[in-house]
Amino acid sequence: MISEKFNNTHASCKIYVAEELSDAMNIWSYNVHYNGLSKIEVTHDLYKLPEILATQFNAKISFRNTIPNDPDFSLQWNLVNDGHSGGIADADIDADLAWEYGIGDTTIKGKTIVIAIVDAGFDLTHEDLSFWKNKNEIPNDLLDNDNNGYIDDYDGWNIELNNGNPHNADVVKYGGGHATAASGSAAAIGNNHKGIAGVAYGGKVLPIHLGPVYADSVVKAYNYVIKMRQLYNSSKGDSGAFIVAVNSSFGLDNASPNDNTVWCNMYDFMGNLGIVSTVAAPNNPFDFDVKDDVPGNCPSTFMINTTNSTNKDEIGNAGYGKINVDIAAPATGIFVTKTGSAYASWTGTSFAAPQVAGAIAVLYSSACDSILKICQKNPDQGAALMRDFILKNAEVKPAFQDKLSSNGRLNLFNSVSAVKNYCKEALPHPSLGGKLMLYWTGYNNTSKEVTVNYDFPKSGKATFYIYDILGKTIVEYSAENILEGNYTGVIPDLNLSSGFYILILAANHNFSNALKFVVD
């Protein structure tokens, strides 16, 4: 018995048979009680047993079907456009390709990603929307439990009534449920067999109800966003909300940023906390480099001013401007959520901008540790990086050339791919706390040597082990006083008969990954 053999040679680490997984291939699952040993040490010791040919750890799989099961998904040409709606095939944001990497739910560290939407007419009971809840606030006890300055802000905040209930299904008063439509374009729940999917279909919306729109309400709304993210940053994620984007699908027509400096300055303040602001360009087909607009023309570098494009990749009936308008997102007749657990087709920049907010949530959910560290240590740099991932990877089309700062339309897959490439380039250098890693180069049957590349994170003695298929140590080769760095080295004088071998590097009580190789 393998468990008996293993357990007899280990004082506290023990393994126990869980079940047989494949009788055809003699594959078993074991529970491991590590008691001080690391995963890699247990693996190392298991490979010493001649009965063990291969081991692996159990892990949760994710399904790779990136077309969600929502019944109306085929109507969402903005996400995947096959041309059947009369548009041009692929005039879309390639959401299906991007969702393999992230759906805007959490970071790889498990932090819930939050999209703040400042708007009016939220239906908090909509079957296809997922609203964030403030777990550190007890609702309706008339106390400010999380000490953020807002009493009972469990569901978000209502600026109009100055209370913690942002729900308002009065469609007559609030633009037909404008906030409900914006929320769904950003983050309607995907893969729930209902309605549609938002861009960040695993994401959470933090609703902030404005009421009748005056500039002072906007300042108050952003103040709530600021307080929640400040609390998140200062508590290292224990309270507040990890707001990565705030969407504003409203504005002051013909207003000058010079007359609205208080409002405009808030985008830089939020940016410094790590928040990208997505704003909707006016629904007027004019050049906003020559016409005034707030907030679109506010000069913040943490803002993405979004216009509306059609299913033919043209600018819809909406604003543009090489300096002031940044990107297009498809929103001429897109299918979104409607108050009363309903769905409807809407048009306008109001539903373009939230798709960019949703895209930022997806980027955070696909970001590697090195990006998340930047976002934590220097939130302003994190926000600037995310804005760049969106704008520098827009899909350039003739109709957007010289009309938008990015010359293009949002492409979620391009942006996610840029995140992934950035992560590759930012692979931890050993001296920055990387892991002991082996990268296979080759075995030369004439010179009888293995060449291998390795990351050596901490100076010391390096010992290479080569095991045969039965786990017997064939070679132990050491080199003293290796400084930290990346090396390509040779293990000489090997006289390996043909067969299957495993190579592991040990140093400073750590083991590397195991490389398998075959000698012909």
Q: Does 92 bind Ca ion (CB under 5 A)?
A: yes
Among 87, 104, 175, 195, indicate the residue that binds Ca ion (CB under 5 A): 195
Q: Does 192 bind Ca ion (CB under 5 A)?
A: yes
For the bound state, the minimum distance from the C-beta of residue 233 to Ca ion, rounded and expressed in Å, comes to 17
Residues 6+ apart with CB under 8 A from 252: 215, 260, 293, 294, 295
For the bound state, the minimum distance from the C-beta of residue 191 to Ca ion, rounded and expressed in Å, comes to 7
For the bound state, the minimum distance from the C-beta of residue 5 to Ca ion, rounded and expressed in Å, comes to 51
Q: Does 189 bind Ca ion (CB under 5 A)?
A: yes
Distance between CA atoms of residues 34 and 499, nearest Å: 32
Only one of the segments 19-27, 139-147, 313-321, 375-383 lies at the binding site for Ca ion (rule: CB under 5 A); that segment is 139-147
Q: Does 155 bind Ca ion (CB under 5 A)?
A: no
> 464: which strand partners?
477, 505
Cβ neighbour number for residue 471 with a 10 Å cutoff: 17
Asked if the bond preceding 295 is cis, omega within 30° of 0, the reply is yes
Residue 198 or residue 271: which is nearer to Ca ion going by CB? Answer: 198
Q: Does 369 bind Ca ion (CB under 5 A)?
A: no
Token code pair at residue 110? 């498990």
For the bound state, the minimum distance from the C-beta of residue 189 to Ca ion, rounded and expressed in Å, comes to 5
Q: Does 342 bind Ca ion (CB under 5 A)?
A: no
For the bound state, the minimum distance from the C-beta of residue 228 to Ca ion, rounded and expressed in Å, comes to 9
Residue 144 or residue 468: which is nearer to Ca ion going by CB? Answer: 144
Beta strand pairing status for 460-468 and 473-482? antiparallel
Sign of CA dihedral 297, 300, 301, 306: negative
Residue 138 or residue 519: which is nearer to Ca ion going by CB? Answer: 138
**Distances, alpha carbon 182 to alpha carbons 249, 355, 384, in Å:** 8, 8, 24
Distance between CA atoms of residues 469 and 501, nearest Å: 6
For the bound state, the minimum distance from the C-beta of residue 148 to Ca ion, rounded and expressed in Å, comes to 4
Only one of the segments 8-16, 148-156, 266-274, 291-299 lies at the binding site for Ca ion (rule: CB under 5 A); that segment is 148-156
For the bound state, the minimum distance from the C-beta of residue 159 to Ca ion, rounded and expressed in Å, comes to 15
Residues 6+ apart with CB under 8 A from 42: 13, 15, 32, 34
Question: How many chain residues touch Ca ion (CB under 5 A)?
Answer: 20
For the bound state, the minimum distance from the C-beta of residue 313 to Ca ion, rounded and expressed in Å, comes to 11
Q: Does 395 bind Ca ion (CB under 5 A)?
A: no
Residues 6+ apart with CB under 8 A from 222: 118, 246, 266, 270
Token code pair at residue 509? 């009580």
For the bound state, the minimum distance from the C-beta of residue 443 to Ca ion, rounded and expressed in Å, comes to 44
Among 194, 204, 229, 403, indicate the residue that binds Ca ion (CB under 5 A): 194
Task: From 73, 65, 69, select the one nearest 193 (Cα to Cα).
Answer: 69
Q: Does 202 bind Ca ion (CB under 5 A)?
A: no
Q: Does 150 bind Ca ion (CB under 5 A)?
A: yes
Cβ neighbour number for residue 39 with a 10 Å cutoff: 11
Which residue lies nearest Ca ion, judged by its C-beta?
70
Q: Does 264 bind Ca ion (CB under 5 A)?
A: no
Only one of the segments 68-76, 326-334, 374-382, 506-514 lies at the binding site for Ca ion (rule: CB under 5 A); that segment is 68-76
Residue 202 or residue 333: which is nearer to Ca ion going by CB? Answer: 202
Instruction: Provide the strand spans (E) within 68-171.
Output: 114-119, 157-158
For the bound state, the minimum distance from the C-beta of residue 451 to Ca ion, rounded and expressed in Å, comes to 43
Residue 242 or residue 267: which is nearer to Ca ion going by CB? Answer: 242
Four-point Cα dihedral 280, 285, 286, 291, nearest 10: -40
Q: Does 317 bind Ca ion (CB under 5 A)?
A: no
> 248: which strand partners?
118, 279
**Is 248 exposed, middle or buried, given 0-12, 13-18 or 19+ CB atoms closer than 10 A?**
buried
Residue 185 or residue 297: which is nearer to Ca ion going by CB? Answer: 185
Residue 195 or residue 321: which is nearer to Ca ion going by CB? Answer: 195
Residue 100 or residue 144: which is nearer to Ca ion going by CB? Answer: 144
What x/- string results for residues 119 through 138 when contact with Ca ion is judged by CB under 5 A? ---------x--------xx
Q: Does 152 bind Ca ion (CB under 5 A)?
A: yes
Q: Does 148 bind Ca ion (CB under 5 A)?
A: yes
Q: Does 145 bind Ca ion (CB under 5 A)?
A: yes
> 485: which strand partners?
456
Token code pair at residue 370? 């090195």
Q: Does 484 bind Ca ion (CB under 5 A)?
A: no
Q: Does 82 bind Ca ion (CB under 5 A)?
A: no
**Distances, alpha carbon 111 to alpha carbons 187, 222, 262, 396, in Å:** 17, 22, 32, 33
Residue 54 or residue 143: which is nearer to Ca ion going by CB? Answer: 143
Residues 6+ apart with CB under 8 A from 115: 104, 186, 187, 200, 203, 204, 205, 206, 243, 244, 245, 246, 247, 354, 357, 358, 360, 361
Among 100, 144, 160, 468, indicate the residue that binds Ca ion (CB under 5 A): 144
Q: Does 70 bind Ca ion (CB under 5 A)?
A: yes
Only one of the segments 187-195, 232-240, 315-323, 420-428 lies at the binding site for Ca ion (rule: CB under 5 A); that segment is 187-195
Among 94, 123, 313, 455, indicate the residue that binds Ca ion (CB under 5 A): 94
Report the length, in residues, of the chain: 520
For the bound state, the minimum distance from the C-beta of residue 328 to Ca ion, rounded and expressed in Å, comes to 15
Residues 6+ apart with CB under 8 A from 455: 430, 434, 435, 436, 437, 486
Which residues lie near Ca ion (CB under 5 A)?
70, 90, 92, 94, 128, 137-138, 141, 143-146, 148, 150, 152-153, 189, 192, 194-195
